[in-house]
Structure 1
Amino acid sequence: MIRNDTLRNVLNFALFQAGWFVCVLYPGLPAAGFVVLLLVFHMLFVSQHRFTELQFIGAGTVLGGVLDGIWFQTGILDDGTGNVQITPVWLVGIWAIFMTTLSHSLSWIVSKPWLPFVCAPIAGPFAYWSASALGAVQLPNLTLSLAALALGWLIVFPGLLYLRKALYPELIR
C-alpha cells in the first residue's frame, strides 16, 4: 500500500481517467475486465480500508447502475439500438471506478457543504455528454437529457457523499 496521500490521490485520479476512457472508447466486456484490474490495483495500492471501501464501492455502483438503467428506460440515454434492458456493463464499470474517487482524489469536494451541489449537476452531465461525443452513448433529446442528468446528479452525488459519511466514516479523511 502506498503511504503518501498525494501519490495515492494522483494515482486514483489517473486510474479513474484511464478506466473512463477505456470504458467509453471500447464499451463492452473487455472494458469491464479492465475495470476489474483497476479495482484490484486500487485495493492493493491505494485503499487504506479495503473491506469498507469495497462495500462503499459496491453500494454506489448498484445505485449508479440503477440510475443509469432508469435513464435508459425513460429515453434520457440511448445506446443507439433503443432497446437497452439493463445498464450496459461498461457504464456499471465507470460507476465502480468513480466510487473509488469519492474517498481519494475527489475527497476534497466535501470541504464546503455547498460544493457537491454546485459541481455535480455540471460535472455529471458533462461526463455523459463527453461519452456521447465519443460515440459510447446517445443523448436523444440533448436539452432534456442534460437537464435530467443534472437533476439526477444533483441528488445522487451528495447522496453518495452522505452515504459514505453515515455508513463508512473511516473512509473520510
Structure 2
Amino acid sequence: MIQSDTARNVINFVLFQVGWFACVLYPGLGAVGLVVLIVAFHLAFISQARMAELQFIGAGVVIGGLLDGLWFNVGVMDNGVEGFQLTPIWILGLWAAFSTTLSHSLSWISAKPWLPFVCAPVAGPFAYWSASKMGAVELPDLTLSLAALAVGWLVVFPLLLFIRKTLYPELVQ
C-alpha cells in the first residue's frame, strides 16, 4: 500500500483520468477491462479500507448507472440505440472509476457542506459535454440536456457523499 496521502491522491487522479479518456475515446469492453484493472490497482495500493471502498464503488456504479440509464431512455443523452436501453457498460466503468475519487483525489470537496452543491451541477455536465465533443454520446438538445444533467448531478453527487459518510465512515478522511 502507498503510504503518502499526496501520492495516493495524485495516482488516484491520474488513474481516473486514464480511465475516463479510455472509456470516452474507446467506449466498449476494452476500456471497461482497463477500468477493472484501475479499480483493482486502486484497491490494492491506494485504498486503506478495501472492502468498504469496493462496496462504495458498487453503490456508485448502481446509482450512477440508474441515473444515466434514465437519461438515455428519456432522450437527455443518445448513443444511437433505439427503444429501451440499459446504461452502456463503458459508462458503468466511468462511474466505477469516478467513485474511487470521492475518498481520495476529490475528498476535498467534502470540506465545506455547500461545495458539492456548487461544483456538481457544473463539473458533472461539463464531463458529459466533453464526452459528447469526443463522440462518445450525443446531447440531442444541448440546453435541455445540460440542465437535466446539472439537476441529476446536484442530487447524485451529494447523495454519494452522504452514503460514503453515513455507511462507510472509514472512507472519510
- Give the TM-score category using the shorter length: over 0.9
For residue 80 of structure 1, report the CA deviation from its aligned partner: 2.6
Structure 1 Cα separation of the partners of residues 39 and 63 of structure 2 = 18
For structure 1, the residue ranges without an aligned partner over 5 or more in a row are none
- For residues 61-81 of structure 1, give each alpha carbon's deviation from its aligned partner in whole angstroms, at most 9, with x where no partner exists: 100001000000000000034
SS of residue matched to 1:130: helix
For residue 84 of structure 1, report the CA deviation from its aligned partner: 5.8
Structure 2 Cα separation of the partners of residues 87 and 119 of structure 1 = 24
Structure 2 Cα separation of the partners of residues 26 and 5 of structure 1 = 31
Matching residue of 1:28: 28
Structure 1 residues 83 and 26: alpha-carbon distance in aligned structure 2, compared to 1, 3 A threshold: farther
8 Å CA contact retained: 1:78, 1:84: no
For residue 136 of structure 1, report the CA deviation from its aligned partner: 0.2
**4+ aligned runs moved over 4 Å, structure 1:** none
Identity fraction in percent:
69
Structure 2 Cα separation of the partners of residues 113 and 45 of structure 1 = 29
Cα RMSD (Å) of the superposition?
0.8
Matching residue of 2:141: 141
Matching residue of 1:86: 86
8 Å CA contact retained: 1:13, 1:105: yes
Amino acid at match of 1:164: R
For residue 60 of structure 1, report the CA deviation from its aligned partner: 1.0
For structure 2, the residue ranges without an aligned partner over 5 or more in a row are none
- For residues 31-73 of structure 1, give each alpha carbon's deviation from its aligned partner in whole angstroms, at most 9, with x where no partner exists: 1111001011101110000000000000111000010000000
Amino acid at match of 1:50: R
Amino acid at match of 2:37: L
Structure 1 residues 46 and 84: alpha-carbon distance in aligned structure 2, compared to 1, 3 A threshold: farther
Structure 2 Cα separation of the partners of residues 137 and 128 of structure 1 = 8
